[in-house]
Amino acid sequence: MIMDMPKLESPFVRKMINDRYVVVPEINPGYEWVFEDASVLAIEKLDGTNVSVVIENGNVKSIWNRTELIPFINKGKAHIIAGVLESFSREYFSLEDGQFFGELIGERVNGNPYRLEGQFMGAIFNVCKKSSGLQIMGQIS
């Protein structure tokens, strides 16, 4: 069964400023625990689009943008395939069986706020989860 990565909420309040959502130095109600628990690991929430790669028997079975299957050869979404291939070549993930989530960032994603050339997946969440425990919305996943 294909899963969708739960939306990662920011512990900071987001406000619309100059037609973009930005976080402000104000804590979201209910997220005080993020700053009180010494075991919480802070990572940057990348401004991209969620992509997952399903690997079975050491082979890529499918690539997903949230719950949309991305065909390997396609029009309009080729940058997602390019980002997955680039991420694999950079050894950001291996061909271990499972469903691996990451945030695709680059030239064709969300106006490219990082001013990157090309595409790649950052923050492969399964790797974070295995190495340090990933706490999402107050629960260990």
* Per-residue pLDDT at 111: 87
Please give the Cα distance from 66 to 80 (Å, whole number).
12
Please give the Cα distance from 100 to 42 (Å, whole number).
20
Query: Are the C-beta atoms of 34 and 99 separated by less than 8 Å?
Result: no
pLDDT band at 122 (very low <50, low <70, confident <90, very high): low
User: To the nearest whole percent, how much of the chain has pLDDT over 90?
Assistant: 26
Q: According to the CATH classification, is domain 44-140 in 3.30.470?
A: yes
For the cut 80, the answer to whether the pLDDT of residue 141 exceeds it is no
pLDDT band at 15 (very low <50, low <70, confident <90, very high): very high
User: In this predicted structure, which of 5-9, 104-108, 135-139 has the lowest mean pLDDT?
Assistant: 135-139
Could you tell me the residue ranges of all domains in the chain? 44-140
Burial 10-42 (b: 16+ CB within 10 A, else e): ebbeeeeeeeeeeeeeeeeeebeebeeeeeeee
Mean pLDDT confidence for 94-119: 86
The label of the residue with tokens 């804590």 reads: 27
